[in-house]
Amino acid sequence: MLTTIRTRRRPLLGLAGAVIVLAALAGCSTSVSHPVDDYKGEPRGVVPPASSAGGAAYAVWLKGGAQFAIVLYGSSTCPPKVATVESIASNQLKATPAPIGDGVCTRDYAPHTTVFATPGSVTTKSDVTIKLPDSTLTLPGIRG
Span 15-26, pLDDT tens digits: 334 333 333 334
Beta strands in the chain (DSSP E): 32-33, 37-40, 58-62, 67-74, 82-89, 92-97, 110-117, 128-131, 136-139
User: How far from each other are the two terminal CA atoms of the chain, in whole angstroms?
Assistant: 65
Q: Give the model's confidence band at 44: pLDDT under 50 very low, under 70 low, under 90 confident, else very high.
A: confident
Work out the average pLDDT over 53-78: 94
Q: What is the pLDDT of residue 30?
A: 61
pTM above 0.95, yes or no: no
